[in-house]
Structure 1
Amino acid sequence: MTAKSLSIVQPTPVPLGTPEFETKRALLLQAFAEKIPSEYLLPKDLIDNPPLDVSGIPATCGILTPEEIEITETYDAVALAEAIAQRKYSAVAVATAFLKRAIISHQLTCCLTQWLVDEAIDRAKTLDTYLAENGKTVGPLHGVPISIKDHMPIAGTFSSMGCLSTIVKDETDSHMIAILRDAGAVFYCKTNQPQTLMHLESDSIWGRVLNPFNIHLSAGGSTGGEAALIAMKGSVLGVGSDIGGSIRAPAAFCGIYGFKPTSPLLPMKSFLASPSAAELNILCSTGPMCRSLRDMDLFMNGVIAAKPYLVDPKVVPFPWTGLKTPINRRLKIGIISNDGSIEPQPPVKRAISWAKELLSDPKHAELIEVKEFKPFGAVDAWSKIRRMYWPDGGQGSKGAILATGEPLHSLSEWIWKDEEPNGMQTAQDVNLARRERDNFRCDFAESWNEQDVDVVIGPAFVGPASAHNTAFYWTYTSLYNLVDYPGVVIPTPIKAKADEKYDADYVPLSDPCKHVKELWESSNFEGAPINLQLVARKYHDNELFGALAVLKDILGLE
């Protein structure tokens, strides 16, 4: 009998490992392929000759019914929950629609690691029965399919940190998953992420995630599978994690909404099978990735209402007011044109100009005061945080990858290359780094106060989605992990054009800035969406959402 395989679009394949590793990887991919009904497979010719933009294929390929297209395309999570509660659609119909669209999306973007068809349908049937017998839902997410990043344990499935040696079978839900399950969520897939979890490109043993709007560009990382799946409308709501931009960058690359809260607000208990050395000084955050502002609000309300701090003392008790947070004053918004280190690529500059023009309109003068903002110490911050990510010199991650014959991906080597020669730091080294971090945070806060702003808006990345293997500079997102400020990325109507050029009077701010221009000129970014990032002070997450409520109509946000 011939082994079943699943053809995936991969214009830039991940590197090959040893024959022993490739044999194990092939078995992993075959086990995935065995689950997929033949009627859900796209034509081989399409896979071999895909268009640049694959985002419209799920709706036109003929695999989805008209109702399934309607379910997956016309609702955000809030509206979908309402439709299920009102019995417009059954939970089974919704789960089936998203299962089908997810597997179509995977063939085009390599966004999945697991496809949980039996588990999802069984769960949806149980929820439909409960609603029929009790006349009410089990919670605010009753029947809503939620996609989950691969490293987050779901009972009865596998999790990993993006490489073969880290795959484990999970017997219990992680804390966040348990809360979402109690709220009525249906888990139907897990999504792709990078080798090491520490790239802004999701390239792992399952393959390389592609940007739906230009397959020669990255979908971002580390939550790139989620971002691509949501952009393909194969998910309505997903969960990401962020220690350097891993929610915000992929959400920006794919033109969706993503929120990195202040680190201790949401639970991450049991998210990783082994602890991350980076978290000795840089704390990770978890948060939603979705289609609308109110979806982010729904997620935050639901998780915080579960009082996660009663289970995990690391979580801070925090009342959530979100989009209902009143802003009883003129909102002071700082505009970031550049961070003093890297001048953004042309379409990002256009997006900043677009936002500045709208926000500066005199008709909004009673609501908003707009001023220029210069982020404090961006160059210094990037140097500091890269050292703090790898207090072991990358030895643990590198050893785990190489142990099975798996190849090192280029961005894995890039991210720890500066620290690898220094090897394992001592406890005192880590201690001194913490003092550096805390001193920087105080200086950053002082600069913010001197510039007198409530929130800032600016780039989410140096450009649109990066070309494959070139996501080198995270300065616009990692800065806010170092100081632990909350940030939301929001879509704009701006898209990259094929013929855009830098201004004639451009002068590089730094060597990385010069390199970013070279990267722009060596790739085609046509069609890539552009998001902007809105940031508030630490623990001012509610105020950040209050500001979003003010800006919603001005910036045309969903």
Structure 2
Amino acid sequence: MAVYSSKLAVVQPKPVPQGTPEYEKKRASILEAFAKNVPPELRLSSEFFTNPPVNVSQVPTISGILNPAEIDITENYDAVGLAEAIAARKLTAVEVATAFCKRSIIAHQLTCCLTQWYMDDAIKQAKELDEYLEKNGKTIGPLHGVPISVKEHIALAGTYSSQGFLASTIFNEQDCLLVSILRSMGAVFYCKTNQPQTIMHLETTSHYGRTLNPFNTNLSAGGSSGGEAALVAMKGSVLGIGTDIGGSVRGPAAFCGIYGYKTTSCTLPMKDFMANAFSAELNILGSSGPFSRSLRDLELFMTTVLSQKPYMQDPQLIPLPWTGLNTKAKRPLKIGIIENNGFIDPQPPVKRAIAWARQRLSDPKHSNILQVKDFKPYNAAEAWAKIRRMYWPSGGKPLKDGITSIGEPVLPLSDWTWKDAEPHGILGAEEVNDLRAQRDDFRYRFVDDWNKQDVDIVIGPAFVGPASAHDTAFYWPYTALYNLVDYPGVVVPTPIQAEAKEEYAADYKPLSDECKKVKELWEASDFEGAPINLQVNARRYHDNELFGALAVLKDILDLP
């Protein structure tokens, strides 16, 4: 294998905090090892980095690094289209893998979205798939030749994983269950993507660097699956895998204007996702889910994985059949519109997106299939307070000790995430059990309120605003609520973008101190160009019904 320069330029408008000299030396060695795999012809010119644009989303197309065929492959196909083209021998797996490997490393130089990159391995996988198709006249499976990106902490054979800080790094000898299923169906793996320190921020900043929003690099790509979201938005990936315990799929997808799906817990396999048990899951179960640029790619991912009966190997899973977009929706479909959650009023462009969706859905021509009504989530402030305690039964101390053990700095948002729990220290068994009782009591009250409001699905904000400015993703109650009650959710793109100099309504009155702070954050930064997504949620284990509703909404909301 050729060895190239030990330095790879990456756009970083706001540097990450520095640690001890010992830590910085170790961190530098990791970044150097990454850089040595990147050939000169895939590097942006040094002149580019003297004054990079704030919106870097179009740079891969005009960089001159990709040829016209590679631009076509990465921009004009979704995963379904790629699988069909490869099966029909219109494209080869090697052509597709080459295009996405090249585009992904360009995307990394612009957004710091990757932690590891394996072009040689990907081309080898793809070549074997092409040879199989040539010899057997059929594909290995429905994902034959489709490149899939993977979040840093998820075990992928022959790669490293971590919990977003250097001391937690381990080497993975084997694939986790989900990756092994996807690989057996023909998926090609070529990179791993950045995540935050502790995996518990809504901004992705780690020892690998700070991931940037492709549409405004002064903004975050979200977290914890921010690397995935930025990469998919940059068209350096067509299908990615993330995890969500507070908004970690939905938040980044919303920040970057793509699809992100948080399943109900125990729907997709998470066996061997992490080397160590995650104490937050004593009360708040995490979920896995896909990122994509089309609704039918979410369907492809779910159909492929669940068709392999992963519950036969992962006893934590509930073996529910998947009908997805073919699920027959109720008529009329009762849709609750969330203007705000009674706790934090969303920032101006989010309110415009909600108004846009309401106008579309309320068109009289849809009255025979839709019933639109107002919806107010039950006690969002209480939910936010409870989940912030429940995330950290350890008070955050073990992770903090692990981070600082080799001189790595504790990032501001790490301190923020365990701020409410830290004073309580490490909880005893009965204290954790009491939190479980509080969680269940809230769930009972929540479902009673949902029943009284009589809706099938709800549509509302995915976040308090568009993508947050760096180091300011403090408030994520719009997503975390649905982790507390364990309801599925998909964030969907809208045509709305944040505009320069947008202002709050003249009659605005804060709903809480947190609401007032969110307004101050809006006024302190420039969010121009940031995309706006909306979140669609259904009841617990009504994932099929959620997708049945999305099938109805697809044409009404012009969903790709």
TM-score category (smaller protein): over 0.9
1:286 to 279, 285, 288: 288
CA contact (8 A) 1:359 1:554 kept: yes
SS at structure 1 position matched to 2:372: strand
CA contact (8 A) 2:4 2:37 kept: no
CA contact (8 A) 2:4 2:36 kept: no
> Alpha-carbon deviation of 1:368?
0.2
2:438 to 436, 439, 446: 436
- Look up the match of 2:221: 219
1:372 to 342, 367, 374: 374
> Alpha-carbon deviation of 1:81?
0.6
Matched ranges for 1:4-15 at <5 A: 4-15=6-17
1:187 to 186, 189, 211: 189
Letter paired with 1:59: T
1:268 to 255, 267, 270: 270
Work out the CA distance in 2 between the residues paired with 1:43 and 1:501.
39
CA contact (8 A) 2:390 2:435 kept: yes
CA contact (8 A) 2:250 2:261 kept: yes
- Look up the match of 1:477: 479
- Look up the match of 1:30: 32
CA contact (8 A) 1:263 1:284 kept: yes
- Look up the match of 1:149: 151
> Can you list the C-alpha shifts for 1:516-535, whole angstroms capped at 9, x where unaligned?
00000000000000000000
CA contact (8 A) 1:47 1:108 kept: no
Work out the percentage of aligned pairs sharing the same amino acid: 65
- Look up the match of 2:104: 102
Q: Give 4+ residue runs of structure 1 displaced > 6 Å after superposition.
A: none
SS at structure 1 position matched to 2:266: helix
SS at structure 1 position matched to 2:218: strand
Letter paired with 1:352: I
Matched ranges for 1:420-499 at <5 A: 420-499=422-501
> Can you list the C-alpha shifts for 1:305-324, whole angstroms capped at 9, x where unaligned?
11011001001101000000
Matched ranges for 1:382-401 at <5 A: 382-401=384-403
Work out the CA distance in 2 between the residues paired with 1:262 and 1:4.
43
Question: Aligned pair 1:526/2:528, yes or no?
Answer: yes
CA contact (8 A) 2:151 2:192 kept: yes
Work out the CA distance in 2 between the residues paired with 1:237 and 1:270.
21
Work out the CA distance in 2 between the residues paired with 1:102 and 1:328.
41
Question: Aligned pair 1:418/2:399, yes or no?
Answer: no
- Look up the match of 2:232: 230
CA contact (8 A) 1:156 1:169 kept: yes
Structure 1 residue runs of 5 or longer lacking an equivalent are: none
Aligned length: 558
Question: Aligned pair 1:544/2:525, yes or no?
Answer: no
Letter paired with 1:441: R
Work out the CA distance in 2 between the residues paired with 1:120 and 1:161.
24
> Alpha-carbon deviation of 1:2?
10
> Can you list the C-alpha shifts for 1:150-181, whole angstroms capped at 9, x where unaligned?
00011111111110011111000001100100
2:310 to 308, 311, 322: 308
Question: Aligned pair 1:81/2:77, yes or no?
Answer: no
- Look up the match of 1:200: 202
> Alpha-carbon deviation of 1:4?
1.7
Q: Which moved more, 1:43-52 or 1:190-199?
A: 43-52
> Can you list the C-alpha shifts for 1:428-475, whole angstroms capped at 9, x where unaligned?
000000000001001000000000000000000000000000000010
Letter paired with 2:18: L
> Can you list the C-alpha shifts for 1:7-28, whole angstroms capped at 9, x where unaligned?
0000011100000000000000
Question: Aligned pair 1:331/2:349, yes or no?
Answer: no
CA contact (8 A) 1:340 1:378 kept: yes
> Can you list the C-alpha shifts for 1:206-247, whole angstroms capped at 9, x where unaligned?
000000000000000000000000000000000000000000
Work out the CA distance in 1 between the residues paired with 2:234 and 2:121.
22
> Can you list the C-alpha shifts for 1:285-336, whole angstroms capped at 9, x where unaligned?
0010001110000000011111011001001101000000011421000000
1:42 to 41, 44, 64: 44
CA contact (8 A) 2:5 2:35 kept: no
Work out the CA distance in 1 between the residues paired with 2:457 and 2:424.
38
SS at structure 1 position matched to 2:254: helix
Work out the CA distance in 1 between the residues paired with 2:4 and 2:224.
34
1:209 to 208, 211, 227: 211
Matched ranges for 1:116-135 at <5 A: 116-135=118-137
Work out the CA distance in 1 between the residues paired with 2:96 and 2:50.
30
1:90 to 89, 92, 101: 92
Work out the CA distance in 2 between the residues paired with 1:202 and 1:277.
21
- Look up the match of 2:70: 68
- Look up the match of 2:319: 317
Structure 2 residue runs of 5 or longer lacking an equivalent are: none
CA contact (8 A) 1:269 1:312 kept: yes
CA contact (8 A) 2:4 2:38 kept: no
Work out the CA distance in 2 between the residues paired with 1:420 and 1:451.
37
> Alpha-carbon deviation of 1:43?
1.1
Letter paired with 2:38: I
CA contact (8 A) 1:9 1:48 kept: no
1:175 to 177, 180, 202: 177
Letter paired with 2:333: L
1:513 to 484, 499, 515: 515
CA contact (8 A) 1:76 1:291 kept: yes
SS at structure 2 position matched to 1:263: coil
Work out the CA distance in 1 between the residues paired with 2:28 and 2:413.
23
Letter paired with 2:320: F
Work out the CA distance in 1 between the residues paired with 2:106 and 2:506.
43
- Look up the match of 1:502: 504
The CA RMSD over aligned residues, in Å, is: 0.9
Work out the CA distance in 2 between the residues paired with 1:20 and 1:305.
48
CA contact (8 A) 1:91 1:128 kept: yes
> Alpha-carbon deviation of 1:95?
0.3
CA contact (8 A) 2:4 2:40 kept: no
Work out the CA distance in 2 between the residues paired with 1:399 and 1:219.
27
- Look up the match of 2:349: 347
Work out the CA distance in 2 between the residues paired with 1:298 and 1:90.
20
Work out the CA distance in 2 between the residues paired with 1:359 and 1:328.
15
Change (3 A) 1:14 1:496: same
> Alpha-carbon deviation of 1:48?
2.7
Return the TM-score normalized by structure 2: 0.99
Work out the CA distance in 2 between the residues paired with 1:142 and 1:206.
31
Letter paired with 2:218: H
> Alpha-carbon deviation of 1:80?
0.7
Letter paired with 1:92: V
Return the TM-score normalized by structure 1: 0.99
SS at structure 2 position matched to 1:531: strand
> Alpha-carbon deviation of 1:109?
0.1
Work out the CA distance in 2 between the residues paired with 1:272 and 1:145.
22
Work out the CA distance in 2 between the residues paired with 1:445 and 1:5.
54
> Alpha-carbon deviation of 1:49?
1.1
1:361 to 363, 371, 392: 363
> Can you list the C-alpha shifts for 1:191-212, whole angstroms capped at 9, x where unaligned?
0000000000000000000000
